Chains A and B, each alone.
Chain A
């Protein structure tokens, strides 16, 4: 059974760096074809893809946020991470991580429950 769970600071101030952790089980990021993606959703709005990381350490970023995003992984501890620098109120959202399947050509087949992040002074 594949499970993912996001964790983050809950609330932070503008200009700070947001650090998110995705802890997962049921698969390994060292296995061929596996990946983890990050997606966010402001309250009442749609889904926005942020970044993907793959088993071979290939990384992809949303161009509109690329300069502020860093994705990484710790395969030994079954975790993936996302950092967003210089946050502002527009970064207030629920942040999801999802498993990616290369065999499904990038489909997000399992999602975490989400971590709520509020940026406020």
Chain B
């Protein structure tokens, strides 16, 4: 299994930048693509795709969200953070059988 490690929680002030990290125990790159995706989940709702293949913004997602990284180190950045962004963020790899990180809960200071 590819294991994804995320910090459990992050507190950020409104209007500031939030950077959420995801580290894998194996390289998830393959033929020029990084098989890493990011999802947002608010309480009582299903997950929503934000970023696919490490850096591609999903349809309808505001440009405040961005992703970068390759190999084993990936980040999701939200800049600037808005009140509606309080949620849990999950990374997921599809290089091998899918696995998810444990999630990072974003809170406002």
Contact = CB atoms under 8 A, between A and B. Distances in A.
B98 A111 contact: no
A49 B49 contact: no
B100 to A, nearest CB: 4
A63 interface: yes
B67 interface: no
A108 B103 contact: no
A107 B93 CA distance: 9
A96 B47 contact: yes
A46 B100 contact: yes
Interface of A: 37, 39, 46-49, 52, 60, 62-63, 96, 104-114
A23 to B, nearest CB: 15
Interface of B: 1, 30, 33, 35, 37, 39, 45-49, 52-53, 58, 90, 92, 94, 97-103
Contacts of A111: 46-49
A108 B49 contact: yes
B4 to A, nearest CB: 10
A106 B94 contact: yes
B92 A109 contact: no
Given A46-B102, A96-B46, A107 B97 contact: no
Given A49-B98, A105-B53, 19 more contacts: A39-B100, A46-B90, A46-B100, A47-B39, A49-B97, A49-B100, A96-B46, A104-B37, A105-B33, A106-B35, A107-B37, A107-B53, A107-B94, A108-B37, A108-B47, A109-B52, A110-B49, A113-B45, A114-B46
